[in-house]
Amino acid sequence: MSSYDTVVLDVDGTLVDSVYQHTMLWVKAFAEVGVYVPAWKLHRAIGMGGDRLVAHVAGDDVEKQHGDRLRELHDKAFDDTIDDIPPLPGAADLLAELRTRGLKVVLASSGIEEQTERLLAIVGEKDKVEDSPTSDDVDASKPAPDLIDAAIARVEGSRAVVIGDAVWDVKAAKEAGVFSIALLSGGFGEGELREAGADLVFETPQDVLDHLDKTPFGD
């Protein structure tokens, strides 16, 4: 067994195929308050904390005027569509194999805790993940490293690997000084993920599982 003892996982776009649902729900939320933000711009912000997203894509004035309402609209709509979201290929098997190898499996998701639990139930591994911190438990959301640091501390991990699908996950891991594995399932290109600091890039959880012995979790 390698010297790594902890794996920190994102959820949206990493374990479940929900990135584009989030994108279009944000498009609709902005339209409802009369603000146009193109879908491509919103897609590229998925994965950062919701408290940062509005200002990032539309500016501070929109955040001040509509931020809370936009998050409410998005969160309610996403809550209504969760049951239609599929797990990504290999998600459940990857989590099971990580546990089989004796690793502590913990989440670092920017999503709402109840929604994250429902998504894990869809994956089928809800009870296979350690008690995880949420964005409410930290001062700053992704791409700040706070959530990753809190996740590792929660399970008393000594050396961790982050698995995520967005440049925000990779940047947070880099800030935390943690090895990162990025997935293409979030819609970011391999080049930009590596430029952001990703150490390894795979397509899906199944791809990670198929090459697990070539990662820090190999024998």
Q: Which residue has the higher pLDDT, 212 or 112?
A: 212
Judge if 31 and 98 occupy the same domain.
no
Instruction: Kindly indicate the confidence band of residue 24, based on its pLDDT and cuts at 50, 70 and 90.
Output: very high
- Pick the more confident residue, 124 or 165: 165
Please indicate, yes or no, whether residues 38 and 105 belong to a single structural domain of this protein.
no
96 has pLDDT over 70: yes
Task: Give me the chain's average pLDDT, please.
Answer: 92
Residue 11 shares a structural domain with residue 29: no
CB proximity list for 33: less than 8 A, separation 6 or greater = 65, 66, 69, 70, 73
Say if residue 24 is in the same domain as residue 107: no
Residue 1 has a pLDDT of 47
The pLDDT tens digits of the residues spanning 75-86 come to 999 999 999 999
Among candidate residues 1, 209, 13, the one with its CA nearest the CA of residue 104 = 1
Rounded CA-CA distance 138/180 in Å is 20
Question: Best-predicted range by mean pLDDT among 121-125, 135-139, 176-180?
Answer: 176-180
Q: Is residue 1 situated within a structural domain?
A: no
Within this chain, do residues 11 and 108 fall inside the same structural domain, yes or no? yes
Alpha-carbon separation of residue 136 from 50, 84, 119 (angstroms): 11, 26, 18
CATH of the domain at 117: 3.40.50.1000
Greater confidence (30 vs 109) lies with 30
Last residue of a domain, one of 83, 108, 123: 83
Residues spanned by the domain of 30: 19-83
**Helices 60-81, 50-58: inter-axial angle, 10-degree rounding:** 130
Q: Using the 3D structure, point to which of 34, 65, 83 is the last residue of a domain.
A: 83
Domain for residue 183, yes or no?
yes
Residues 113 and 206 in one domain: yes
- Residue where one domain finishes, among candidates 83, 108, 133: 83
